[in-house]
Structure formats: structure tokens, C-alpha cells
Chain A
Amino acid sequence: MLKLRLFGLVAAGALVLSFGCGGGGEEAASEPAAGETAAVETFTVDPATAASVSGKVSFEGEAPRATRINMSAEPDCHGLHSEPPTASPVEVADGSLANVFVWVKSGLEGKKFETSKTPVRLDQKGCLYTPRVVAVQTGQTLNVGNDDPTTHNIHPLPKANREFNKSQSPGASDIEATFPRQEIMIAVKCNIHPWMKAYINVVDHPFFAVTGADGTFDLKGLPPGDYVIEAVHETLGNKEMNVTLGDSASETADFSYAG
């Protein structure tokens, strides 16, 4: 009986090894044949026909009241503020909603765009992330800086990208991160300071924006075509709009959330 079990284990192990080492049929099929070019050419938008979508994200009704953050557990953070700062995922000013990620959700399939070489910055200042929502292209560098007199740890929680958790002491050099896969609203937290929250959006193309205090966004340089524009807020959810862009067209897409 024991010999039979051992034989079964060895056989199973051999089977697993054979699949792992030699059975990668899918991988073999994706490898280009000798002489073929594997690189995909980047898509260049014709400036003569480039179009744009702009708009504003507004908020109707009463916004949730901002909550005071208790930083007393961390004296170095507490001392950076004359009074406890407030935090609210819903930042409304004169009916305009900030921190909304707006992007072209569909309509650019099959097109590969050049990745921007300009890094995007996420700061840790006053023991808060600034800005709260950032966006980068796949492969674009995100620089995370620590302007505080205390150590933070930067802990993104992606589902499609690789998770990491790095500490950053005061005065340390920026942490550089890149994300190879498109993923929307990756939550970021600092486990030392649980009130710190941010979101990273990673997109395959350069047509995205994050609204500021005025709630506006502007997606320029789009090729003509039919698109789905999506607005994403961390707590208020997603909204989509279909937009058709003609040659050199400038269309408007306004989104509205309600409390």
C-alpha cells in the first residue's frame, strides 16, 4: 500500500513537471517565428484631426460632512497641523466635485500609445497623501516622496499589478514605482498612519484626467471615433457617457453625482 502511494506521488510529480517544463503550448505559440517583428508600433494621432472631450463633474445635494482626523497617536504628524485636519472622500466646492478620475474606457482598442517619460508625483505631506487621486500610464513612473519628519510606508493594494509595501524614512529619496497593467482605483494606504488614503489609476493610453477643485477635465489629442468616457469616484461610483468625435471636434461630457 505504501509503495503504491509513493508510486502515485512520483507519477503525479512527473506529470506536473512535464506540464511545467515542456507543456507550455500557449507560451510556445505566442513566441514570434524567426525573422518576424514582435514589437507593436505606437499609434500617432494626426494633429490635423485630433479631437477633444472636456467637461465638468458636479455634485448635487448636501455633501457628507468631513471628519476630523485624530493624529494624536503620532506626535510628529499631530505637530504638523494647528488643528486636526479633515478628511472626506467627497470634496465639493461650489457644486464641483474634485478627485474624480475621468478616462476613455473604450474606443482605443488595438492602438498602442507611447508612454510618457514625465513622472507623476504622489507626496506625503502633513501625514496625508497629496493628491488623493493620481493617474499614470502603464509603465510610466510614479514618484512617491516623503516630506514629513516621520516614516511612512507606502502600500498599494492592486489586484492586477504587483503589490508592494515599502517604508520611507524622513528625507529618503523618492520611491519609484511603475505598473505594467491597466487597473483603475488602486487603493494606497500607510499602515503606520491608518487615516492616509490615496488612489492610483493605471491606463494603457494617455487620455485621462483627475478633476481638481473646479471639477473640470480636458482630454485632448484624441483620434476621431466613438468612445465611452467614464468618471470614477472612490465612494460615489462610476458613470459612463458615449461620445462620438469627428475630425477636430470638441465635445462636452458633463457628469453629475448626487448626495
Chain B
Amino acid sequence: MSGLHRFALFTAASTLCLIIAGALVTSNDAGLSVPDWPLSYGQWMPEMVGGVFYEHGHRMIASFVGFLTIILNVWLWRSESRSWVKKLGLAAFFAVVAQGVLGGLTVLYFLPTPISVGHACLAQLFFTMTVSIALFTSPAWKRQAAERADRMLDEGSPTLRHLALGANLIILTQLALGAAFRHKGFGIEPHLIGAAAVALIVIWVLARVTSRFASDRPLMRWALLINGLVMMQLALGGATFWVRAATESSPQPLLPMVALTVAHVAVGALILAISVLFTIQAHARTRRPSNDVEQPDLATSS
């Protein structure tokens, strides 16, 4: 495993921790416990008590992830031969900068719903970028592209590629609906409908992989993983909703509600990331019926 790949993995893992830290801020109602930005109470390090622990802790982890992203970019530009991977790294850098600005705006403008939802969605997208960079820098990916294994025909309407892309869009929409609910944009009903849509599309994907690509073990594994995560997410969502209703009259956020909600957010992020990885693999491991054009070598192409 190359050092760059390990570092990309570490950046992705840290980003997931950052998403969890962000979810802890919202779930503990600590979103505006630090009223100023970019400093916290005019300091780089305020007293970490109460809600400040979550809010400033989130900022500290965000800064750390920002630095990791800068280092990742420098490493990519110095050692990566594929220009499209470098550009993906650059896109991730701009995304994390935009995230920082959005985070600041949520503080300065008292959590306006559109900005809070944008902050939540961009977090998921940034996580997906870091996970993708980790995939593209992995020895397994380079080996897969270099071996140019026989790719199976992606027939049918819609194709597996289109199903996978559709799944990404539906999952991202569902994440946005969840964020809008959490930030009191609207009620839970759209998010419930979105949950049903996500379940249906991932089952459809699994059915397609099972019927036409069962011999492709990596695709099967990815499809099964997505379905497993979605089933877990449905259970977490139900439990979160029930606990939230049961503790509605509590004077403060209680640990079970916080833990379940944060887990629900984290698994949501994982589902989007895994779905995007599956989409990438679906494109890499299949071919269209009329696609006899020589494919670029993804291991080395610039």
C-alpha cells in the first residue's frame, strides 16, 4: 500500500470523524454556542465547556481536515501522474474551503436553513471526494485498470451505470431532506418518502447485479454492502425518530437520542460514499453494447 494511498485513507477517515463531530454539534443544540467566527470568543482556544466543547471541537477537527487536504493535494501534484486525480484533489480542496466559509456563515447569520443544509450536503460530497481519491490511489484500483479484465456487457434499460447514477442522486436528495428536517426547514414526511425511494433504488441495483453480474464478485460485494447499510439506516432512522418523540419533553438532549441521531448521520454519509464507489466500479467493470472503443488506461492516463 503506497504512502499516498494510506494518507488518502486517513484523510477520508478523518472526514468521517468531522461529519460525526458536526452531527454532535446539531444534536446537542450547540450550533451557536460560540457566537463569533473564525475565532471562538476572540481566542484560538476557548474554555471547552458545555456546547463550546462540541462547536469548537468541530472547528478544530475541521481545521485538521483542511490541513490534511492541503497536504494531500501537494502529495498528489508531486507524485500522481494522472491529471484527473490531481484535479479531483483540487476540487476537494476548494470544497473544504467552501465548507469552512459555509460553516462561518451559519454562525454569523444564526443558522439560516438553506446555508445549514448546504453545509451538511457539501460535507457529504467532500467525504465522497476523499473516499474516491483513496480508491483511485489504491493499488487494487491501479491493478484492476492495468489488468483490463474482460468487462461484462451492461445491457438493459436502464443500464446498471444509470441505475447507480440514479441511486447517487436519490441518496444525495435524501441526505438533503434529512438535513432540512434537522434544521427545521420542513417536516419529516419528505425524508420518509426519500427513505422509501432509496430502499427501492438500491434493491433494484442489487437485483440487476444479481441477475446480470453475479459472477463479478467486487460488484456483488459493493451492491450487498450498500443494501446492508441502507437496511441498517432504516432501522437507525426508525429508532432515532422513536427516541426523539419519547424524549421530546426532556429539558436537554439525552444521550440515546444524540447517539442514534449521530449514527444515522454517519451511516448516511457512508451510504453516499459507497454508492459513488459502486458507480465508479460499475463504469470501470462493465461496458456498453456499442462501446468497442479502446478505453483509456485509468491506471496511468493523464
Q: Which A residues have a C-beta under 8 Å from some C-beta of B?
A: 64, 67, 69-70, 73-77, 87, 89, 150-151, 153, 155, 163, 165-167, 189, 191-195, 197, 235
Cβ of A225 to closest chain B Cβ, rounded Å? 39
B: contact size bracket: 20 to 34
Q: Which residues of A contact B28 (CB under 8 A)?
A: 194
Secondary structure at chain B's binding surface: helix, strand, loop or mixed?
loop
Contact of A167 among B29, B35, B49, B253 (CB under 8 A): B35
Given the interface pairs A150-B49, A167-B41, A192-B49, the reply to whether A69 lies near B32 with Cβ below 8 Å is: no
Taken residue by residue from 7 to 36, chain B's Cβ proximity to chain A (1 for < 8 Å, 0 otherwise) reads as: 000000000000000000000111111011
Q: Could you show 17 A-B contacts with beta carbons less than 8 Å apart?
A: A69-B251, A73-B50, A75-B49, A76-B49, A153-B35, A165-B35, A165-B110, A167-B35, A167-B36, A191-B29, A192-B49, A192-B51, A193-B50, A194-B30, A194-B50, A195-B251, A235-B249
> A192 — which chain B residues lie within 8 A by C-beta?
30, 33, 49-52
Question: Is there a chain A Cβ closer than 8 Å to B252's Cβ?
Answer: yes
Q: Which residues of B contact A195 (CB under 8 A)?
A: 251-252
Q: A191–B49 contact, CB under 8 A?
A: no
Roughly how many angstroms separate A76 CA and B110 CA in the complex, as a whole number? 26
Complex Cα gap A123–B32 (Å): 20
Which residues 173-207 of B sit at the A interface, judged by CB distance below 8 A?
none
B110 in contact with A194 (CB, 8 Å): no
Contact B249 A194 (CB under 8 A): no
Minimum CB–CB distance for A169 against chain B, Å: 8
Tell me, rounded to whole Å, the shortest Cβ–Cβ distance linking A233 to chain B. Answer: 14
SS of A interface (majority): loop
Closest CB in chain A relative to B104 CB, distance in Å = 14
Which of A77, A191, A194, A197 is most buried by chain B, counting CB atoms within 10 A of its CB?
A191
List residues of chain B with CB under 8 Å of any chain A CB.
Answer: 28-33, 35-36, 41, 47, 49-53, 55, 110, 249-253
Who on chain B is nearest to A87 by CB?
Answer: B251
Q: Which residues of B contact A166 (CB under 8 A)?
A: 35
A176 to chain B, nearest CB (A): 17
Bound together, the chains give a CA A165 to CA B51 distance in angstroms of 14
Contacting pair A151 B251 (CB below 8 A): no
Q: Are A194 and B252 in contact (CB under 8 A)?
A: yes
- A154: nearest chain-B partner, CB-CB: B35
- A191, B53: Cβ atoms closer than 8 Å: no
Q: Are A197 and B251 neighbours in the complex by a CB distance under 8 Å?
A: yes
Q: For residue A175, give the distance in angstroms from its CB to the closest CB of chain B.
A: 12
Known: A165-B32, A166-B35, A189-B29. A194 touches B49 (CB 8 A): no
